[in-house]
Homo-oligomer: A and B are copies of this chain.
Amino acid sequence: MKSRSWTGCPIRFGMGIFGDKWTLLVIRDLMFKGKRYYGEFTDPEENIASNVLADRLKKLEQNGIVTKQRDPEHLSKFIYELTDKGLDLMPVMLSIIDWAEKYDEVTEVPQDFIKELRRDRARFGKKLRTKLKKSRQSKLP
C-alpha cells in the first residue's frame, strides 16, 4: 500500500497488525495454551522459522499486543504476555475457532469447548480471560 496507511479502515487496521500466517498462531499460544517463553512458541510440528517468530513477537510488542519482561525467577529468560489490547482479541479468536470448527473436516476443537462457545460466546470469552489472568497471578513469585 503506497498511498495510504494501514489505519482508518478497521479490517485494514487489523491486517496491518495480524495479517499474516504466523501472528495469530503466536497469539493463540499465549491465549489458549499458556505459553510464555520464546522457546515454547516453536512447535516442532508447525515449524515456524526462528527469525519469523522473533520478528512477529517484536511487532506484537511494538503494536502493544504483547509485553516482554525479564523473568524474575530466571533472569536470563523473558516472559511474553498479552496486554489488555491483546486479550481484547479474544472475540476475534473465538469467531475464527467457531468458523473453523464448522468447516474443517479434521478439526481438533474439543466438543465441550465449542458447545460452551456457541451457547454464549461473550460469556465464554470473559471466562477464558479471567482464567488466563488468574493463572498468571498464581505464577508470580
Contacts and interface: CB of A to CB of B under 8 A. Distances in A.
Contacts of A99: 10, 14, 88-89, 91-92
Interface in A85-114: 85, 88-89, 91-109
A75 interface: no
A95 B97 contact: no
Nearest to A15: B21
Contacts of A46: 1, 4, 12
B44 A11 contact: no
Contacts of A21: 15-16, 19-20
A20 to B, nearest CB: 6
Contacts of A88: 99, 102-103
A141 interface: no
Interface of A: 1-4, 7-16, 19-22, 24-25, 28, 44-47, 85, 88-89, 91-109
